[in-house]
Amino acid sequence: MSWLFGLNKGQPEAPPEFPVPPPPPPPAGGSGGGGDKPKDKWSNFDPTGLERAAQAAKELDKSRHAKEALDLARMQEQSVQMEHQTKIKEYEAAVEQLKGDQLRIQGEERRKTVGEETKQHQSRAQFQDRLARQRYEDQLKQQQALNEDNLRKQEDSVLKQEAMRKATIEHEMQLRHKNELLRVEAESKARARVERENADIIREQIRLKAAEHRQTVLETIRTAGAVFGEGFRAFVSDWDKVTATVAGLTLLAVGVYSARNATAVAGRYIEARLGKPSLVRETSRITVAEAIKHPIKMSKRLTSKPQDALEGVVLSPNLEERVRDIAIATRNTRQNKGLYRNILMYGPPGTGKTLFAKKLAVHSGMDYAIMTGGDVAPMGREGVTAMHKVFDWANTSRRGLLLFVDEADAFLRKRSTEKISEELRATLNAFLYRTGEQSNKFMMVLASNQPEQFDWAINDRIDEIVNFALPGPDERERLVRLYFDRYVLEPATGGRQRMKLAQFDYGKKCSDIAKRAEGMSGREISKLGVAWQAAAYSSEDGVLTEAMIDARVDDAMRQHLQKMDWLHGPSSTHIRSTHPMGLESREVLPKRTMCMSEIF
């Protein structure tokens, strides 16, 4: 009720929780009493406030609203107290909240502490485990070193014992050799001494033996001469014996001559039927010598079934379709006993010409014989006879014969322009004579890398021309996969050979090799597979790695490019380019050649 007394009028009332600041000190000096007289505490009291309060109380008592004013003041005082109680409750709630926050913070700190302790325990356990493992590894290494040291000492001891044993044996051999030399020397000296002492007796014995032998020989000659003379006189004196002797000698001469001619005729017949001509390098026909040497092999060949003509042969789709038609036509021709067609296969070396010829013969149920044109020229005058023997032998085949002439351009050259010898010209004429008409006994297949060198008469005898070109990208990939399986995967997985294969993507590697092997023939790719196998065999552990495969491929491509340089020579025009492997490749621009329509 400070407003009743006029205190703090015009000033805001301070909250109860904050103390009222003390009044400012009185100013120095004052009125009345002098400056040196001390003033009491009532000297600065202002009674006007009390007067106003008393005046207000009187007015309030006189007013009819005094009771309502007192009630209003009481209610204001209660409101103030309630506000104070509310602030106290808020303060207590804030204190409780602070305590809860402190507990939560303490819990989080405790959890962090426990987590850090757990991590430290784990780190300590890991460190102790690492130390234990390291200690165990060190013990193992020490034990291994100790074992190796003991083993080395044992090996040294064994080597020393072996050296001592060898030294002992050598010493014994030397002693034995010396004793043997001494014994032989003593025996020689004794024998020489005995021979010197008995030289006269020995010479007398030799003289007596020679005289006795001479007398015996003379007596034998006298007896034989007497017997032979009496027999010859008795034979000459009897005319019937002379006649019988002359007739017997005549019959003997006639028999020897007839047997020799009959043997020659029989030999030629057997050679034509069962033998093999000298020009034939390889054949599937059964000969007497092969049947005796390899009876099981011959029986398997007789009981074998016809195979697919393109089994193991990788060709382009168009060429595969064409040669398959040729194989089917040849097989049906044999079954129907028709006339065979002659075929010319040309193309770069190693493109599958010889392999297809063998497969064609086996597929058709025919025998095959392989001869090379390089064997004809060295035969000279015997070439004509040998050529006739080949065709006579071919005509005796009951199953039909496929005669494959490899490198045919070596002796079937043009007679008008080429400078060939008379013997080779006569052999060529014999070949033309025997192939002038189509036969139902044999089928001729010629293979050449240079068909433009053939004589025109040879071209006239050819019924089918097949070009075996270098394999394309798809064919190269099939070849690489084929020879990778044959020379690498099968030996590595079979377990019979010392060969293992590292882990990598085999299919991707084969595709990459096929792209890099551009321009290579099928034979070169097969040699590449053999090179991979040799690389595995030459390694210490027998493991073929991807790096070893790449190294062999790089080496094969380098050799292929070198061969191309040798083939085309310095006169060819080259365009140098960079190979994907980093090798320098050369694209050859060949000179103008005659097209096939001009050649054939």
Instruction: State which CATH number among 3.40.50.300, 1.10.940.10, 3.90.1570.10, 1.10.260.40 fits the domain covering 282-467.
Output: 3.40.50.300
**DSSP per-residue codes, 406-420:** ETGGGTSB-TTTS--
Spatial separation of the C-alpha atoms in residues 350 and 357, rounded to whole Å? 13
Structure tokens at 496: 């019979």
Burial per residue of 365-382, b for 16 or more beta-carbon CB atoms within 10 angstroms, e otherwise: ebbbbbbbbebbeebeee
Please give the pLDDT value at position 161. 92
For the chain, give every residue range classified as CATH 3.40.50.300: 282-467
Distance CA 563, CA 518 (A): 14
Q: In this predicted structure, what is the pLDDT of residue 291?
A: 61
Name 62's Cβ contacts closer than 8 Å, sequence gap at least 6: none
Kindly report whether the global pTM for this prediction surpasses the value 0.85: no
pLDDT in tens, 368-413: 889 988 888 888 888 899 999 999 988 888 888 899 998 888 888 8
> Is residue 504 helix, strand or coil?
coil
- Flag residues of the chain having pLDDT under 70: 1-45, 264-275, 287-309, 312, 417-418, 495-497, 569-600
As a whole number of angstroms, the distance between CA 441 and CA 474 comes to 38
Nearest-angstrom CA–CA distance, 113 and 101: 18
Helix intervals (H) in 396-540: 422-434, 456-460, 473-484, 490-494, 506-516, 522-538
pLDDT at residue 300, as a whole number: 62
Name which of 502, 592, 503, 516 is nearest 558 in CA terms.
516
Question: Strand order in 401-406's β-sheet?
Answer: 282-283, 367-372, 401-406, 442-448, 343-346, 464-467
Under a CB-based contact definition with an 8 Å cutoff, are residues 347 and 380 in contact?
no
The partner residues of 544 in beta bridges, in order of sequence, read 501
How far is the C-alpha of 289 from the C-alpha of 276, rounded, in Å?
Answer: 10
Residue 186 burial by Cβ neighbours in a 10 Å radius (0-12, 13-18, 19+): exposed
Instruction: Identify residue 327 by its one-letter amino acid code.
Output: A
How long, in residues, is the chain? 600
The H-or-E segment that residue 76 falls in is: helix 66-197
CB 479 within 8 A of CB 439: no
Q: What is the pLDDT of residue 309?
A: 58
For residues 474-512, b (16+ Cβ closer than 10 Å) or e, as one string? ebbbbbbbbbbeebbeebbeeeeeebbbeeeebeebbbb
At 233 the pLDDT is 77
pLDDT of res. 215: 87
Q: What is the pLDDT of residues 48-68, one digit of tens each?
A: 878 887 887 777 777 777 778
